[in-house]
Amino acid sequence: MKEPNQKAKPTKPRQKYDETYKRHAVELSLSTTRTVMAVAQELGVTKSMLYRWRELYAPRPSGGDSPDGPRTFEQAEAENRQLRAEVIRMRERETVLKKSLGILSETPESGMPRLKR
């Protein structure tokens, strides 16, 4: 606790930035080869603040449906079908890999394996 006769350090008033400034800062941090820390120091903000602005204002990659956006029931069902098919393919690959690992890890009884004709 502070003593009543101790003086508190003067604090800077909280800086407020408008949305245009924030968007410009995000564009600057994304378009240059400089680090986020360097851009933040240049602008006089903390790097955590710049990262927060990037989460809010950075352009999202447009690869079809966004995972956060609203989807219809049919879109969700189509995605589920696609994912289930992918799981089946991955399980088949896993089975093949397990079998090939078992075959390759067997040691031949006497030297090189012989061809059976």
- Whose tokens are 């956060």? That residue is 68
Statement: residue 31 has pLDDT above 70 = yes
Structure pTM? 0.43
pLDDT at 108 (0 to 100)? 65
pLDDT at 81 (0 to 100)? 95
pLDDT digits (tens, 9 = 90+) for 91-105: 999 999 998 888 887
Q: Is there a single domain that holds both residue 49 and residue 80?
A: no
How many domains in the chain?
Answer: 2
pLDDT higher for 41 or 117?
Answer: 41
pLDDT digits (tens, 9 = 90+) for 37-72: 988 898 889 989 989 998 888 877 655 555 556 678
Long-range contacts of 78-86 (CB under 8 A, 24+ apart): none
Residue 52 lies in domain: 16-59
Domain membership flag for residue 1: no
Q: Is there a single domain that holds both residue 80 and residue 47?
A: no
How does 51-65 read in b/e, with b if 16+ C-beta sit within 10 Å? eebbeeeeeeeeeee
User: Quick one: which of 14, 41, 11 has its CA closest to 29?
Assistant: 41
What is d(CA 79, CA 77) in angstroms, rounded to the nearest whole number? 5
